Chain A
């Protein structure tokens, strides 16, 4: 049997996200309630119309099982599944919800995600204190991605300034987004002079610890006509997931200048969506800029530019909000922070709103096709979603 995929079989009919930030006064229940109620309102439905839900959560201290959503929203006994897949947890929740409606098993499904990092304290992601092998090294997230930076500098001749330009661009975009954690523009000098986190990544090369939640309501296109966004619902063109080893440092062939998970997920997503020239066809992309080096490598792995050319293209404005391929017009993880389980859903809803012409931050002109990309763990898990306007 030939797999059919989900192209044009799923419609986004409502979406929303909370304000992102250090939300000391909000619980995960508050955040999930606000994001899901926002999406429900956007879709013009009641919560009782939701048949099933998938919830992205990474850390067990944020919440385990479907009950995390049930106790926030009270769907009253509906099927809810918690999805965890590193930093792609949110986008994988979206992927599962897509399958839920595309298969015909459900008419209306919800994808949402949440993470409450601030309740654990703000000094970096909890790692080896809570999980992993007793002694095999498990570097901090900045250190993991720094292994890519060091090798990319060596192979491509990039430097700290090339990385800093990513931060400057994304903070420039985030300045205009009301829901961003950081709404500030920064200078190249500020970025370059920031304290070191994992050399060569300084503070502005790293995304922040933040709290936040996002949610989307999905149905099939034929049903979408009867909801609030009948005229401007968004079609899912493809969604892909690629999982590679969590321990790339044990792979003797791993080159540390590319994430094979992104390369594979991009190929799958482009094939299903029928995209031949990503640079030309993708109008905007929300890509996983957990660290500045990640964004540069993402642009290459997603085929927005040639290998080794990302820094130059960025400098030339290719990835500006009004450039050839707008990359992170929302401000990205650099501006929003990265409440892990929520990020994938936030990106997808951001792209949907751009395509609907109602971006909350900078609106990319004439955006017709958009892409969202999550990369998690040690560049191990990648999810790519491509959205388009309704016919």
Chain B
């Protein structure tokens, strides 16, 4: 049997009230909030977060592939999947693919993962991560919708899976809209959104109806329908047209976190998985130049409940989200303002050579004195000075502050200052120096002894490539 073994999610720390957008542009007020990534986040870093959540309690080396889905991948040549797999410390003999350019990339990656597992006896599990940071043109209605987030599923072939996949069905349809030209456009464009909406409704109802028909299911047989939507009103119309029972179609997302893009349908499914019915029939559907639907059923309620206890999912992140007070923070987060940016020196060679320590957070343990130390660059022990006695050890992504400073002299940036720079004693050994991200009022809130989590972030674009590294953040509750 092939099905969902685990899930994970990531929602960035900050919520943008739609009211602030309305106020900024003198639009009529729109209710709700949307999740927005911080200035040091992108689709890749959020994918790492969702991946870490999904793999809580699971050995990353046991997984045979990683499929990444996004319309906002950080490179057009150079895939994200292999990068994310590296940061998650997965094996090298795995299959990695980016699914891009369509909002249904998430569900497409999902069904292709199932195909891959079916077709290969050596491949029994694939991690799928959908992540998007779509940018709306300021002062348009899309600004109220487009939001940032990531979600992950571990698809595996084994017994006793919490959710089993029964069938899937896809259609392909070329529609002009929405689109973003590779070279010419900074923002997503539309021509006639009413027509786009009609095609969306037709496509998503068609794939869901078809898969139900193929499996002799009536609307009342469906317990959970998690389909992509970007407008609450349209969502209701689809539910009505599908004749789903009250509460079946999942619609709890848009109001609070917005239109997440490729992870939207995944996130809807994850948020519905807290209190599953025995044998619940589940439909997952994605849309974008066609549509995919996937039919599943809950096989093991208890296992599913366990998953919700050991993973942050959506609810775990929502608890620690903060609402922005100010539109300017959004402008900076999305880099909507043209500013001269501070560029640090970089070297693609160094970044490649230091992969274990920089991306995977490995340290060394000195076999002579036992001290766990970071980074892995030095061959003589920093404590006992023994030569070449090092063995690689994986460091914990959690620790306590030993000392810190609040640095107002951060290169080129006078907006998000001061930046706490923290010396952190990691749980289980190793000491690191990391910048802290996403901290309000650091003067009051950063303290010696404070517990922090490590989070993978974009640092700078020195040497014209994206330089990523770890930062620390106040505890959000990652397992």
Query: Closest chain B residue to A135 by CB distance?
Result: B469
In Å, the complex CA distance between A201 and B448 comes to 17
From A249-257, A325-333, A343-351, the one touching the partner chain is: A249-257
Within 8 A of A (CB), among B433-459: 433-435, 442-443, 448, 459
Query: Closest chain B residue to A134 by CB distance?
Result: B346
CB of B408 within 8 A of CB of A199, answer: yes
Most central of B403, B406, B463, B468 by chain A CB within 10 Å: B403
CB distance from B344 to the nearest CB of A (A): 5
- Within 8 Å CB of A150, what residues of B? 403-405, 448
Q: A131-B345, A135-B459, A150-B403 are in contact. Are A197 and B411 (CB under 8 A)?
A: no
CB of B432 within 8 A of CB of A140, answer: no
Within 8 A of A (CB), among B241-280: none
Q: A139-B407, A139-B421, A251-B383 are in contact. Are A133 and B443 (CB under 8 A)?
A: no
Q: Contacting A199 at CB < 8 Å: which of B382, B406, B410?
A: B406
Q: C-beta contact mask, A132-148 vs B, less than 8 Å → 1, else 0? A: 11111101101100111
- Within 8 Å CB of A198, what residues of B? 405-409, 418
Within 8 A of A (CB), among B382-435: 382-383, 402-411, 418, 421, 423, 425, 429-435
Query: Closest chain B residue to A203 by CB distance?
Result: B408
From A122-130, A169-177, A179-187, A356-364, the one touching the partner chain is: A122-130
Most central of B346, B408, B434 by chain A CB within 10 Å: B408
CB distance from A125 to the nearest CB of B (A): 9
In Å, the complex CA distance between A130 and B342 comes to 12
CB of B345 within 8 A of CB of A130, answer: yes
CB of A134 within 8 A of CB of B351, answer: yes
CB of A135 within 8 A of CB of B358, answer: yes
- Within 8 Å CB of B33, what residues of A? none
- Within 8 Å CB of B372, what residues of A? 252
Question: How many residues belonging to A are interface residues under a CB distance threshold of 8 Å?
Answer: 38
Q: C-beta contact mask, A189-223 vs B, less than 8 Å → 1, else 0? A: 00000011111010000000000000000000000
Most central of B343, B371, B409, B425 by chain A CB within 10 Å: B409
In Å, the complex CA distance between A129 and B412 comes to 11
A245 at interface, CB cutoff 8 A:
yes
- Within 8 Å CB of B403, what residues of A? 147-148, 150-151, 154, 256
Q: Contacting A250 at CB < 8 Å: which of B375, B460, B467, B469?
A: B375
Task: Tell me what chain A mostly uses at the interface: helix, strand, loop, or mixed.
Answer: loop
CB distance from B139 to the nearest CB of A (A): 35
A149 at interface, CB cutoff 8 A:
yes
CB of B345 within 8 A of CB of A134, answer: yes
Q: Contacting B350 at CB < 8 Å: which of A134, A247, A256?
A: A134
- Within 8 Å CB of A154, what residues of B? 403, 448
- Within 8 Å CB of B468, what residues of A? 135
CB of B432 within 8 A of CB of A250, answer: yes
In Å, the complex CA distance between A251 and B380 comes to 12
Query: Closest chain B residue to A146 by CB distance?
Result: B405
- Within 8 Å CB of B371, what residues of A? 252
B229 at interface, CB cutoff 8 A:
no
CB of A199 within 8 A of CB of B448, answer: no
Q: Contacting A245 at CB < 8 Å: which of B345, B382, B411, B459?
A: B382
- Within 8 Å CB of A135, what residues of B? 346, 351, 358, 459-460, 467-469
B168 at interface, CB cutoff 8 A:
no
Q: Contacting A147 at CB < 8 Å: which of B382, B404, B418, B432?
A: B404
Q: A147-B403, A199-B406 are in contact. Are A250 and B431 (CB under 8 A)?
A: yes
In Å, the complex CA distance between A196 and B409 comes to 9
B232 at interface, CB cutoff 8 A:
no
B374 at interface, CB cutoff 8 A:
yes
B373 at interface, CB cutoff 8 A:
yes
- Within 8 Å CB of A142, what residues of B? 405, 407, 409
Q: Contacting A253 at CB < 8 Å: which of B350, B383, B434, B442?
A: B383
Q: A146-B405, A150-B448 are in contact. Are A199 and B418 (CB under 8 A)?
A: yes
CB distance from A115 to the nearest CB of B (A): 19
Question: How many residues belonging to B are interface residues under a CB distance threshold of 8 Å?
Answer: 48
In Å, the complex CA distance between A20 and B462 comes to 34
In Å, the complex CA distance between A254 and B403 comes to 11
CB distance from B212 to the nearest CB of A (A): 50
In Å, the complex CA distance between A104 and B402 comes to 50
CB of A147 within 8 A of CB of B423, answer: yes
CB distance from B284 to the nearest CB of A (A): 37
B347 at interface, CB cutoff 8 A:
yes
Q: Contacting A196 at CB < 8 Å: which of B383, B406, B448?
A: B406
- Within 8 Å CB of B402, what residues of A? 151, 256
In Å, the complex CA distance between A129 and B342 comes to 8
CB of A143 within 8 A of CB of B405, answer: yes
- Within 8 Å CB of A127, what residues of B? 411
Q: A139-B421, A250-B373, A252-B430 are in contact. Are A134 and B347 (CB under 8 A)?
A: yes
CB of B405 within 8 A of CB of A129, answer: no
- Within 8 Å CB of A146, what residues of B? 405-407
CB distance from B441 to the nearest CB of A (A): 12
Query: Closest chain B residue to A139 by CB distance?
Result: B421
Q: Contacting A137 at CB < 8 Å: which of B351, B382, B408, B435?
A: B435
CB of B431 within 8 A of CB of A249, answer: yes
In Å, the complex CA distance between A254 and B410 comes to 25
In Å, the complex CA distance between A135 and B373 comes to 18
Query: Closest chain B residue to A254 by CB distance?
Result: B431
Q: Contacting A132 at CB < 8 Å: which of B345, B358, B431, B460?
A: B345
In Å, the complex CA distance between A128 and B431 comes to 21
Query: Closest chain A residue to B342 by CB distance?
Result: A129
In Å, the complex CA distance between A132 and B433 comes to 15
Q: C-beta contact mask, B343-373 vs A, less than 8 Å → 1, else 0? A: 1111100110010001000000000000111
- Within 8 Å CB of B382, what residues of A? 245, 250-252
Q: A251-B383, A256-B423 are in contact. Are A124 and B430 (CB under 8 A)?
A: no
CB of B467 within 8 A of CB of A249, answer: no
In Å, the complex CA distance between A149 and B407 comes to 13
- Within 8 Å CB of B343, what residues of A? 129
CB distance from A186 to the nearest CB of B (A): 20
CB of A137 within 8 A of CB of B434, answer: yes
In Å, the complex CA distance between A251 and B373 comes to 7
In Å, the complex CA distance between A198 and B419 comes to 9
- Within 8 Å CB of A253, what residues of B? 383
CB of B347 within 8 A of CB of A252, answer: no
CB of A140 within 8 A of CB of B407, answer: yes
Q: C-beta contact mask, A223-266 vs B, less than 8 Å → 1, else 0? A: 00000000000000000000001010111111010000000000
In Å, the complex CA distance between A254 and B405 comes to 16
A-B contacts, 10 listed (Cβ < 8 Å): A128-B345, A134-B463, A135-B469, A136-B375, A140-B407, A140-B409, A147-B405, A196-B406, A198-B408, A254-B431
Interface residues of chain B, those whose CB is within 8 Å of chain A, are 342-347, 350-351, 354, 358, 371-375, 382-383, 402-411, 418, 421, 423, 425, 429-435, 442-443, 448, 459-460, 462-463, 467-469
Q: A147-B403, A199-B407 are in contact. List 19 more A-B contacts (CB 8 A).
A: A134-B347, A134-B463, A135-B467, A136-B375, A143-B407, A147-B405, A195-B408, A197-B408, A197-B409, A198-B406, A245-B382, A249-B423, A249-B432, A249-B433, A250-B431, A250-B433, A251-B382, A251-B431, A252-B373
Interface residues of chain A, those whose CB is within 8 Å of chain B, are 124, 127-137, 139-140, 142-143, 146-151, 154, 195-199, 201, 245, 247, 249-254, 256
The 5 closest A-B pairs by CB, nearest first: A146-B405, A199-B406, A135-B469, A249-B433, A134-B346
